[in-house]
Structure 1
Amino acid sequence: MSTLQKLSKVAARSSAALLCTLAVVGCGSTRHTHTVEETAVPDSFAAQGRPAPAARTEPAPLVEPKAYATRFTIPAQCEAAARRLLPTSRDDAWTALKSCVEGTHFTLLGAVLGNAWAEELRTRPDAAQLLAQVVAQRGGSVEGDLRLLHARKVPIFGLTAAVAQPEVYKGRYLLLRAQVADVRSEGDKPTVWLVEQGLTSVASEQPVGYSTRKDTASIRSGTVGGDAGMLGRANLGGQLSTSEREQSSTTVQRFDNLADETGREALGRLAQPDPFFAPGKDFVVLARFDGMRITSSGDDDDEAAPKLPVLTIVGYYAPHPLVVY
């Protein structure tokens, strides 16, 4: 074999080895790139515009509970949204409902007394305050709204029942509409003289739109001449005037609240002085009934001595002046 042939064989073997080496390196690079793609895929969905895998959705927490009601303009929508939170978080749902009551003109007592909120009304320590606020926003017709509460077995009662059976209702919640007659301080805890008020509705006609008025007047005059018998000829004259008036208007029937004293009074105890709980104003008052107390004009040994109910005031709310149910 010539030297030239030997050199050709060596070159061929070297070329084959070089091609094999390149192939191996190329195969190794492909596997490495593939591995990188597999590990990078989960982090690159958004960057590459690929749809992300379906994730389990959780309800957004109420970050600002006090501002929850600002999302809604209609109280019914606010209450419905709060109710939908019950399956996921009863605390968030109750906080949302309180925001609805405080942040909107909430009068939906029937919705709060529904089956969805029954457990919350039974277990929440501030449920009575929420109900009292709703009653006030409905106009403060306490007697009528207490009937709705009792139909759902809500243990809030009226002053009449407590006075009639003090031992039965002692320690229970009372709800009354009352006017502050006087405030006196006994140490750090003021005593408030409350005069219970009943509420009635008074109807009136209020004009709306434009009214029309029409006035007409006419005057007729003339003379009549002729033979008047023995008097000879005579002339008779006269004048006739008429007038008409027509007026029309469109009215709408309106209702206003009228509070009147029921004749029942009570002494309320405040934890501290409150400048907003002022004499001359009506409030819907939520209080705990502490029993009956003999007035200063009576004798402790006299069973027939006049007595006044004593209340520990838990909360008070200004009744809406226009709403009547």
Structure 2
Amino acid sequence: MHHPSWSLPTWALLGSLAAGCAASHSHVTWSDVPSREPAPIVTRTPEAPPPGAKEDPKGFVARFPNPAVCEAAARRLQAESREEGWAAIKACIELTPFTQMRALLSGPWNEDLRMRPEAASLIARVVAQRGGSVRGELQYLQEQKIPIFSLASAVDRPDTYKGRYVLLRAQVADQRSEGEKPTVWLVEHALSSVETNMSVGSGESFDTTTTTSGDLNGQTQLTGPGQLGGSVSTREESFASTTRKHYDNISDETGREALGRLPNADPFLEARRDYVILARFDGVRLTSGGADDDSEAPRIPVLTIVSYHAPQELVVY
């Protein structure tokens, strides 16, 4: 028997295969994912350093709570720049109640205090801030070789000290004019301490009264025989309190006087008020009635006033 053979065209077979593949697989389309942009980098502009003491002295000292911290900051600046350091310590002295004399005269400032023209006036200001005890302060200044001297030394050796700085505590007794420049009559003072006892506790008082009475028999020339009566009383009183020693600063005259020259009349230099005065010693001159050839004739020192400062009430040692 002849069996018919089944045959399919080649194109039909390929078509069926293609249809089967299409039915069993889904078509996936990939789309482009946008790239993520990097986050912007935020750069902080560095803050400008605060102005220095040269540009803004008040702003410089305002950054510190007290003069001691201000002086320490000035020392750090001085290590970087001598001029910046000097401007800083000058601001500390002029714009704060600066009393750190030992810190000022030690360390990096010593050479500047001997060489700079304004240094002597700064020292005079510090002496006034510390109470104006010129005698004690001068001793310490000379130990550090700071060329500021006493009026007493200048009067004793006028040729040696002529042209040098002197520091004194004085009051203005009078003001006159010699030509175009006014002249003040200065009376030197020194600060001394007076001791008193001040009551600090409540007192105790004791009061005792004693009375004695009785009769007395006898005879007197006026009344004859008789009897006298009466009483006698005594009173005792005591008081106790607690005290402690108290010291007051008193400004007394030293006996030395001087003539102080001013470049212009100054209404703020008041009479009968103490000042710490920095001056240049110009020598001595005869007072009225003296002869040039008389070595015993009275002479008075003549000063050119450089600066003056009202002393604080509290003395700091």
**Structure 2 alignment gaps of length 5 or more:** 1-9, 19-26, 216-226
Q: Give the counterpart letter for 1:203 in structure 2.
A: E
Q: Distance in 1 between matches of 2:83 and 2:278?
A: 23
Q: Distance in 1 between matches of 2:178 and 2:300?
A: 17
TM-score (norm 2): 0.73
**Residue 64 and residue 207 in structure 1: after superposition, are their counterparts in 2 closer, same or farther (change >3 A)?**
farther
8 Å contact kept, 1:162–1:170: yes
Task: Out of 264-273 and 96-105, give the one that drifted further.
Answer: 96-105
Q: Give the counterpart letter for 1:281 in structure 2.
A: R
Q: Does 1:310 align with 2:302?
A: yes
Q: Does 1:41 align with 2:41?
A: yes
% identical equivalent positions: 47
Residue deviations 1:137-169 (CA, integer Å, cap 9, x gap) = 222221221110010010111122222332322
TM-superposed CA distance for 1:242, in Å, is 5.5
8 Å contact kept, 2:189–2:254: yes
2:117 alignment partner in structure 1: 125
**Structure 1 alignment gaps of length 5 or more:** 9-14, 47-51, 225-233
Q: Distance in 1 between matches of 2:234 and 2:179?
A: 81
**Considering only aligned residues, what root-mean-square deviation do their CA atoms show, in Å?**
3.8
8 Å contact kept, 1:199–1:257: yes
Q: Choose from 129, 133, 139 the match for 2:131.
A: 139
**Residue 215 and residue 74 in structure 1: after superposition, are their counterparts in 2 closer, same or farther (change >3 A)?**
farther
2:202 alignment partner in structure 1: 211
**Residue 223 and residue 296 in structure 1: after superposition, are their counterparts in 2 closer, same or farther (change >3 A)?**
closer
**What secondary structure, in the 3-state scheme, does the structure 2 residue paired with 1:278 have?**
coil
1:82 alignment partner in structure 2: 74
Q: Distance in 1 between matches of 2:297 and 2:230?
A: 87
Residue deviations 1:232-290 (CA, integer Å, cap 9, x gap) = xx9x996665534232233342232232223x222111010011212222211101122
Q: Choose from 146, 149, 166 the match for 1:154.
A: 146
Q: Distance in 1 between matches of 2:178 and 2:157?
A: 28
**Residue 278 and residue 57 in structure 1: after superposition, are their counterparts in 2 closer, same or farther (change >3 A)?**
closer
Q: Give the counterpart letter for 2:271 in structure 1.
A: P
Q: Distance in 1 between matches of 2:213 and 2:246?
A: 50
Q: Distance in 1 between matches of 2:241 and 2:299?
A: 57
Q: Choose from 264, 274, 290 the match for 2:266.
A: 274
Query: Going by fraction, where is helix more abundant, 1 or 2?
Result: 1
Q: Distance in 1 between matches of 2:129 and 2:293?
A: 44
8 Å contact kept, 1:59–1:88: no
1:288 alignment partner in structure 2: 280
TM-score (norm 1): 0.71
8 Å contact kept, 1:141–1:324: no
2:52 alignment partner in structure 1: 61
TM-superposed CA distance for 1:136, in Å, is 1.8
TM-superposed CA distance for 1:83, in Å, is 3.0
8 Å contact kept, 1:67–1:99: no
Aligned residues: 287
8 Å contact kept, 2:127–2:134: yes
